[in-house]
Structure 1
Amino acid sequence: MGDPARKIPTFEELLAEIDRLPEYLSGEIIEPGVIRTMSRPDAPHRRAARECQWALRGASADVTGSGWWIEQEPAVRFGERLFNPDLAGWRVERCPDPPHGYPITLTPDWVCEVLSPSTARDDRKIKLPHYARSGVEWVWLIDPEIHLVEVFRAERQQLWLVTSAGEEETPRLPPFDLEINLVSFWIPRKPAEPPSP
């Protein structure tokens, strides 16, 4: 006789496991029964997330009293999955008070993922389509390595690339009606070393 099928841990069991992780790690449930642990992000990642949140302050309900509730690294439950987007936003019209609870169960209207070499593949292959299927209308992917922001919009549970911007551009990126200076998102590149004689 073979071994009985391995029991898949419940969402609650996995959440308790994530809560026991050391302070220097964070965890997500990227597939039912599967935890992905990550070390805290490096400087380019932290800078892009921080500057993005700062650039969106003009849309923040905390500042303007209307617009968006924008949260940094909220734990958001999507069915049997738990994602910690770098930033997430809820429209005040749909969510009159800041989202609460742990994990948050109200689907965001917008999420932003800052890509890291260790997580970019899962962010694109697993999280991006799951956001669309879960009702997230807008998704930004920020790549601090190549200085690029991609803006996706969900239609019929599919995400479509609407626009992209990078380097020193100052675009208006949907869904926010703000000019966003992208220069501050990036750690300046070091000039290339001249070839030695």
Structure 2
Amino acid sequence: MGQLAEKPRRATYADLEAVPPNKVAELIRGVLHVFPRPAPRHARAASSLGIELGGPFDHGKDGPGGWWILDEPEIHFPDPTSPRDVEVLVPDIAGWRRERMPELPETAYFPLAPDWICEVLSPSTEQVDRKEKMPIYAREGVQHAWLLDPIQRTQEVFSLAPGRGWTPIATHRDAARVRAAPFEAIKIELRVLWAT
């Protein structure tokens, strides 16, 4: 008679904390995902988008203000598969409306789901971003999501539809000038996001 396979141990927050600082780690349903730091095209897209949104939305310079726009925030969500545990996601950029989160938390992480996230896709992260993280963002009520692909030079825009999950709104390419929810108050020139 064959032996039963031993059930894999669930990763914990302690496992995540033990990951070297030159890596990005996330904890999804008890599985630790460890990725290399972003490659130059990825970093360029995320940094440039943060610059484009930070002035008008975070600082209110030539725009409406009212947002916190942050790079790589650590966000904690309850793990529905294990009530004692958390899921830890680190979007490339996230935004909170200040009316929902008037002050930044004192913790090293964010316990409140953002209003918007942006994931910058890379060959090593795309499957986890699309298949693992996007459903969690929807479950937790994130209202808007963007997926940037700096290799394909695309921006995919999604909005959360109650009871239906993510609804694709548009896919923009190359050097398009874009007004995309929730930041339609300004036009973003996608060409500035891509390394040239």
Q: Structures share a fold, TM > 0.5?
A: yes
| Pair 1:184-2:192 in alignment | yes
Question: Secondary structure at the residue paired with 1:130?
Answer: helix
For residues 87-98 of structure 1, what are the structure 2 equivalents within 5 Å?
87-98=93-104
Task: Decide whether the 8 Å contact of 2:60 with 2:66 is kept in 1.
Answer: no
Match of 1:77 in 2: 76
Question: Secondary structure at the residue paired with 1:22?
Answer: coil
Aligned-residue sequence identity (percent) comes to 36
Match of 2:120 among 98, 114, 123: 114
Match of 1:18 in 2: 16
| Pair 1:169-2:168 in alignment | no
CA drift of 1:5 comes to 5.9
Check 1:62–1:8 CA distance in 2 against 1; reply closer, same or farther (3 A cut).
farther
Q: TM-score, normalised by structure 2?
A: 0.86
Which amino acid is 1:155 matched to? A
Q: Distance in 2 between matches of 1:52 and 1:110?
A: 13
For residues 151-166 of structure 1, what are the structure 2 equivalents within 5 Å?
151-157=157-163, 158-166=165-173
Deviations 1:55-103 (A, max 9, x none): 1023333455941101100010121211100000000111111344232
Match of 2:82 in 1: none
Which amino acid is 2:177 matched to? T
Which amino acid is 1:73 matched to? E
CA drift of 1:3 comes to 5.9
Question: Who wins on radius of gyration, i.e. which is larger?
Answer: 1
Task: Decide whether the 8 Å contact of 1:99 with 1:106 is kept in 2.
Answer: no
Q: TM-score, normalised by structure 1?
A: 0.85
Q: Distance in 2 between matches of 1:125 and 1:185?
A: 24
Check 1:145–1:16 CA distance in 2 against 1; reply closer, same or farther (3 A cut).
same
CA drift of 1:19 comes to 1.5
Number of residues paired by the alignment?
184
Q: Distance in 2 between matches of 1:120 and 1:100?
A: 31
Match of 1:134 in 2: 140
Task: Decide whether the 8 Å contact of 1:59 with 1:67 is kept in 2.
Answer: no
Task: Decide whether the 8 Å contact of 1:144 with 1:185 is kept in 2.
Answer: yes
Q: Distance in 2 between matches of 1:97 and 1:135?
A: 20
Match of 1:101 in 2: 107
Question: Secondary structure at the residue paired with 1:47?
Answer: helix
Match of 1:192 in 2: none
